[in-house]
Amino acid sequence: MDAATLDLVTALAARLRARGAMMASAESCTGGLIAAACTELSGSSDWFERGFVTYSNAAKTDSLGVPAALIAAHGAVSEPVARAMAAGAVAHSAARCALAVTGVAGPTGGSADKPVGTVWFGWCTPAGVASEHRRFDGDRAAVRAQAVRHALAGLLQRLD
């Protein structure tokens, strides 16, 4: 884990511990990298409840309760799906907050509407559900690493 990601995880851990809260992750294009970053920190069981790796559309529906009709209407890489993934992670866990990531990490899979590097984020906290879109440059590893950092930073910001 790079220093920037470690700093984010450490700050997020402190914030969640201070609140006595647990978090969950719902990941598609990051494939569990967020959960791995969180659990790399010793004592993470105090604040990291679980990670969902829902790479397929069926997994998003089965594990997180994302309606199949929502995916069919908007595509897996979309704001409504990212929001539903984040809310679903809270609903299907003991966590009080969650982050979700769905995107096109590349090098294949991009389209004119959703080019490689397109990532949608969702965050669910007691204050509600928020979402954001980013487009990252670089190869698959770079897109995924940037998505991990942005997802963690977004949750940390929303816990302020």
What's the start-to-end Cα distance of the chain, in Å? 24
Q: What pTM value is reported for the model?
A: 0.97
- Specify the pLDDT at position 1: 87
Task: Tell me the three state secondary structure of residue 112.
Answer: coil
- The token duo for 37 is 């970053």
Element (H, E) at 144: helix 140-158
Within 13 Å and on the Cβ side, how many CA atoms surround 48? 23
- Specify the pLDDT at position 77: 98
- Specify the pLDDT at position 78: 98
Residues of the chain with pLDDT under 50: none
- Specify the pLDDT at position 160: 83
**Exposure b/e, 16-47, CB count within 10 A at least 16 = b:** beeeebbbbbbbbbbeebbbebbeebeebeeb
Question: Considering Cα of 153, then 32, then 23, then 12, what sign does the dihedral take?
Answer: negative
- The token duo for 102 is 């769905």
